[in-house]
Chain A
């Protein structure tokens, strides 16, 4: 049946059964329950539940609850349907009041399985996970990916000044966090604290964060967690549409334009396509008291995607290109430890700066390109086979504050550091059809990587080959409340390390090991879902940890790698309680306990390194057993219709068990409380109702730091307020979405412990953002 007919049919049904039900008079039994998404377990609003071949039916409410009243005893064949979902049938033998919950398979989810491999097991993760959906992303639009994620419980950012933010999951970041960009492992120079993910946040329609060692499915190294960045699925209806986004920020006078055009051919060749691009330009940012010199940014990104869906197979190609030039706060550039001490004593930069869009040195110029191709084939009754090939290229250039002495005139504009890394990945996944109540998939992953350090000698040239295989099974027998999951993975890595600067290293390294996870979900319907997961994963030492050799500018430290490091081994346990309710309370709370043996960290040396530039504190990469434990939550309580009280929090305690001290650079506690008012007309639950939210984030001083391991004590705690609102309008037939956010509403002056530039400057002051979203439909596929 065509989509259009289905839609028409639904409307007819809706009219027919509206508002609630048709009754058979002499009978008095009630059948009620919920309609939920089979994958996400989220309620499916406004589904239709009907009895086959009879005029009995009901429309579920916005929380997925339905009720059929006044039923007689007997057998009924119930059908539950919803636009965009496969319908679900179930026969009940009614002898009294009864409850039956429907699970609907969303058609778009099935299509997403085409887009993002193995999506289903992720969404049902037994691990603690949190999602920033399209609405949540809307209010974070214009921020970098790292900054947008930092609003989620358990997440924070590792910043380098005001322009670079990396996501931190429960205290872990960089190589311990894996980012999947549209199903492909993001491979760049992710080891660097000042190397932010090269992803256009406007491409994301949904971002899911899996906290803890989620590596059985995604790779051996994600012992901190996985960030899944998913673009919206390609258009299903014939026609052409799209959206335009315009945004401005007062701080830095930043302007962003992002557009998306998508279409689908009608007729026999169901080809869908999408073109997307983002342009961003910002100037010097401002703290409450002064400008941050050279903190402008330029970004130019575009992507295209095309997919072809046939009955038994589908294929998708995706290409994206990310380019940015971003300034590094000039006040952060120092030559040695004395300069750093001077900067700390100054308490603020020597001059107050001025506004400009001009970018000067020091700056970073980064280019990232991704090409991916994916095919999915239904293998008879047995399951689905998916193949994904991807190629990525990343070029990172860093320009120091001043050119090298003796540079030739034509080299004046050349960078001091240049890395180029090319990565090819291949993934094969086979998802078998459920065998009784067992769902599962297995697959293999291959990666080849070549890095050349064209300038600078911070890390060597190397080639890296990895291969892995995994098998995950899940037992579920809905509506039985217990679900079980288990997975196993084996990875092998071989590395050939070549030249580093003028030195030839010529070493081959090999690492291999197992990862495993077991988990369970137990549901108390209408009350609580409990998720438990325990897993073990490992991470091979990264090339910078093995071979780093040089001065880290901006940190005024000399770092030396250790080629004899062994792999880290993590044991992660988490327990999450999720309110499963139609009640006034929503949200979840998770506890985690993460032991990482042979945790790799930078250990200060007793003696500084003396150089012709002066003294630099020296650090060696060392290993010790570590333990990270904590708690994070996100709860919302409906105080009165339309008014919600929200609470979020992240607590972390991270220790080096061998040295009996805290780990350095771990996120401080964070609490956020807010009030959200939604302007609803007569209690209806339109998701696009206008809203206003005010929130207060409180971050106390980080006191869990090792003694005498920092140049300055952690900055004091701070409280920030944020105000935001949004509304949907219609100009004639043109829908329009307007929103605003005021970050740091009261222009508070503060520093963050997890900002590597906290020694040099304060954080940015008040920032008012206005955004406009214009979805459009050029041709709705009239036939």
Chain B
């Protein structure tokens, strides 16, 4: 069969040139490997200091992160008719060999954070003692007063970018932590 006007060499040239272009000069996967070194808050640690300087700590932790095992909360035991200073710490305990304290970061970005509280039973809501750079409440340091003995719950919610000027700032922003403890006042 005749192939008039068909320059096979020209065809081959274009074929090869285009093929070479195809595999070069393009954006590549930069493949810097998985980067999963991000820190999570896995643990909320509450430290209660009574008037006599005695301290006790209680934790709420979900060491394996979201999914897997559910979080575990220790029961808080307090004395009746006492006033405590409550300090809150946020920790990353996902790697037990390298526990990281994230509290300082929350304090540094105090304007963007707010700790909200909810209480039930015999417990009253703690009174926030610390403020951010604008004088608005932060909540890492609070005062909690107990009255009669009984049981109750205490929930601690760390909000990111709340509208601190809003009527109810705890209904705004993004929840980073929501930890609920059972409390026994005796």
Contact = CB atoms under 8 A, between A and B. Distances in A.
Same complex origin of A and B? yes
A609 B69 CA distance: 10
B89 interface: no
A46 interface: no
Nearest to A341: B171
Interface stretch (B1-9, B79-87, B119-127, B131-139): B1-9
A409 to B, nearest CB: 12
Interface string B136-178: 0000000000000000000001011101001000011111111
B67 A550 contact: yes
Contacts of A395: 27
A284 interface: no
B42 A402 contact: no
A375 B15 contact: yes
Contacts of B22: 371, 373, 389-391
A499 B70 contact: no
A420 B29 contact: yes
Contact of A377 (B11, B21, B44, B70): B11
Contacts of B19: 373, 389
Given A310-B10, A338-B175, A501 B71 contact: no
Contacts of A414: 35
Contact of B163 (A334, A350, A610): A350
Interface of chain A, helix or strand or loop or mixed? strand
Interface in A447-499: 450, 452-457, 461, 499
Interface string A384-416: 000001110101000001101111000000101
A405 B11 contact: no
Contacts of A371: 21-22, 26
A339 B175 contact: yes
Given A391-B23, A501-B36, A613-B175, A406 B92 contact: yes
A162 to B, nearest CB: 20
B15 A454 contact: no
A333 B66 contact: no
Contacts of A405: 38-41, 90, 92, 102, 105
A614 B156 CA distance: 10
Contact of B174 (A313, A335, A406, A550): A335
A342 B5 contact: no
Contacts of A342: 171-172
B107 to A, nearest CB: 12
A267 interface: no
Contact of B36 (A338, A402, A502): A502
Contacts of B92: 405-406
B97 interface: no
B36 A393 contact: no
Contacts of A612: 40-44, 60-62, 71, 177-179
Contacts of B31: 420, 452, 454
A560 interface: yes
Interface residues of A, number: 64
B67 A614 contact: no
B172 A455 contact: no
A401 B174 contact: yes
B45 interface: no
Contacts of B60: 612
Contacts of B100: 406
A767 B6 CA distance: 55
Contacts of B102: 405-406
Given A317-B21, A405-B92, A452-B31, A550 B7 contact: no
A380 interface: yes
Nearest to A321: B27
B56 to A, nearest CB: 21
Contacts of A550: 66-67
A418 B32 CA distance: 11
Nearest to B155: A614
Given A367-B27, A454-B33, A613-B178, A313 B11 contact: yes
A313 B61 contact: no
A336 B171 CA distance: 12
A450 B38 contact: no
A313 B7 CA distance: 9
Given A391-B23, A402-B174, A550-B66, A311 B179 contact: no
Contact of B38 (A312, A346, A404, A454): A404
B51 interface: no
A549 interface: yes
Interface in A342-399: 342, 346, 350-351, 367, 369, 371, 373, 375, 377, 380, 389-391, 393, 395
B15 A315 contact: yes
Contacts of A505: none
Given A335-B160, A393-B28, A549 B67 contact: yes
Interface in A205-247: none
A453 B31 CA distance: 9
Contacts of A261: none
Given A549-B67, A550-B66, A346 B174 contact: no
A313 B10 CA distance: 10
A558 interface: yes
Interface string A323-338: 0000000000111101
B34 interface: yes
Contact of A312 (B6, B14, B157): B6
A420 B65 CA distance: 25
Contacts of B1: 380
A422 interface: yes
Contacts of A401: 160-161, 174
A391 B4 CA distance: 34
Contacts of A558: 66-67
A550 B40 CA distance: 13
A551 interface: yes
A611 interface: yes
B41 A393 contact: no
10 contacts: A312-B6, A335-B175, A373-B22, A401-B160, A404-B39, A405-B92, A414-B35, A550-B67, A612-B71, A613-B176
Q: Closest 7 CB pairs between A and B?
A: A335-B175, A406-B39, A614-B178, A404-B38, A335-B174, A373-B18, A612-B62
Interface of A: 308, 310-313, 315, 317, 333-336, 338-339, 342, 346, 350-351, 367, 369, 371, 373, 375, 377, 380, 389-391, 393, 395, 401-402, 404-407, 414, 416, 418, 420, 422, 450, 452-457, 461, 499, 501-502, 549-551, 558, 560, 609-616
